[in-house]
Amino acid sequence: MSDELIERALQDIGQGKMVLIFDSDDRERETDMTVASQFVTPASIREMRKNAGGLICTTAHHDICQKLDLPFLADVLECNHDRHPVLQNLAPNDIPYDTKSAFSITINHRRTFTGITDNDRALTVSEFAKLAKDSYSLSAEDARSAFGKSFRAPGHIHLLNSTPQLLSKRKGHTELATAMMVMAGVTPSATICEMMGEDGNALNKEKAKRYADRFDLCFLEGKEIIEFWKKGGNGK
């Protein structure tokens, strides 16, 4: 049944539909609304903002990170310890659910105004997805030049860097969502947002499942995605 569910989710992703991804009971224990970045619209951002309520982020496959020279934010901060010693005190060395954060830089498209509106964030995400796709056929120099011409930092879209060899070591939402994009055959960048509850915590798994049922969305657990990925991404 789980293979059939994954296959349905991959079809939904290819059609621009949301899927819900729960990482695991022994990690964040969070469910993320997930959509292929290339299909993001202002309505997508609005749905995430109103019905999920967490931080809207956009993932990038490791190949894209390399081509665009996207740094991990923690590394950027570490490089500035001498100039700003307080940054050393803020080192993220005690993350309770992982060893390293996936956060990269934040960006706005240069055609945005403040960058925070649904229209602005959708523009930033969709244009980033276009560049991500194009980066595979561009030289690193040309890709990075195009990145700088089209985007500025800081901004309102948080980029998340996927680790090399997806799901071989880190198995967070960044890797799970990006792996789903790879298997769906779309540009390997997902836009994700944690679903929040009314009690001040993340929406619990059972309530997230009920939300999925109510809106006819696929609800996937990280272990199902990992198992399908290990079988070659086709369930066989």
The tens digit of pLDDT for each residue in 214-230 reads 999 999 999 999 999 99
Q: Which residues are catalytic?
A: 32, 57, 97, 108, 156, 194
Q: Mind listing the pLDDT tens digit for each residue in 166-196? A: 888 888 899 999 999 999 999 999 999 999 9
Question: Does residue 236 surpass a pLDDT of 50?
Answer: no
Instruction: List, for residues 132-163, the tens digit of each pLDDT value.
Output: 999 999 999 999 999 999 999 999 999 999 99
* Burial label, 32 (beta-carbon count in 10 A; 0-12, 13-18, 19+): buried
pLDDT value of residue 235? 43
User: Which residue ranges make up each domain of the chain?
Assistant: 32-203
Residues 6+ positions from 103 with CB-CB distance below 8 Å: 72, 73, 74, 158, 159, 160, 161
Q: Determine what percent of the chain is predicted with pLDDT higher than 70.
A: 98
**Predicted model pTM:** 0.94
| Third-level CATH fold of 32-203 | DHBP synthase (3.90.870)
Would you say 5 and 217 are in contact if contact means Cβ atoms under 8 Å apart?
no
